[in-house]
Amino acid sequence: MKEKYIYYSVIFVLLSFNLFLLWHYVHGEKTIPMDCLKLTGENQRLKLIISVICENQNMQLSNNLEVVDEKFDTLSLKKIIDSDKLVFYYEEFNCMPCVEETMSLLNNKIDKIGRDKAIILTCYEQPRELYLFSHINNIEIPIYNLKSKLNIPAVTINTPFLFTINNDLKINNLMLVDHTSPELVNEYLDRLVIDE
């Protein structure tokens, strides 16, 4: 139910922006102010976010996905996802400011979410890089390296993202992460409810 409020909020912002442009056009202002150009870029970003959310809703992950933990043991993702969980996914060459900002927000909210309700999935070519990243950044959330990339459309955008997943390995509530809009990620985490 709460994810609907996020969708409605984003749609409201888009509609407000379009009404603003229409007002300028009707009142004879044919030149677009610089602030409006910035808003156009933000509008395009929000359209992309909505598109990705819709495209990845209820995507089914393979039961055969394997991960490597920090001890370099290979595990089945299906075994790790034994209940509903929040997942933060990023790849080795994704936007690192986005990753760091999200890690900071997650660390601040992990007690509210529940330490057993969140994991981090990464895709490093060398699992050793995951180990180093985890220890340098003192990550307290369980972190795993996928042996292969997730096979969902969101991966092609080359941007980190958050989503919820159930024990059937179905993805829901996907949210792209952008370090220029931490308030969106913060709102997402505040509204998130992970079922027991």
Least confident interval from 74-88, 113-127, 180-194: 180-194
94 and 17 within one domain:
no
Domain around 71:
66-191
168 and 85 within one domain:
yes
CATH of the domain at 141: 3.40.30.10
CB 67 within 8 A of CB 177: no
DSSP state of 137: T
In this model, does residue 159 exceed pLDDT 60?
yes
Q: Is residue 75 part of a domain?
A: yes
48 and 77 within one domain:
no
List C-alpha distances in Å: 5 to 91, 132, 153, 168, 188: 29, 38, 24, 25, 10
Q: Is residue 131 part of a domain?
A: yes
Q: Is residue 171 part of a domain?
A: yes
163-185 pLDDT tens trace: 999 889 998 888 888 777 788 88
28 and 89 within one domain:
no
Number of domains in the chain: 2
89 and 118 within one domain:
yes
111 and 39 within one domain:
no
142 and 97 within one domain:
yes
134-157 pLDDT tens trace: 778 777 889 999 988 888 888 888
Q: Is residue 61 part of a domain?
A: no
| Domain termination site, one of 56, 75, 102 | 56
| Domain termination site, one of 29, 56, 83 | 56
166 and 117 within one domain:
yes
Q: For the whole model, what pTM was predicted?
A: 0.74
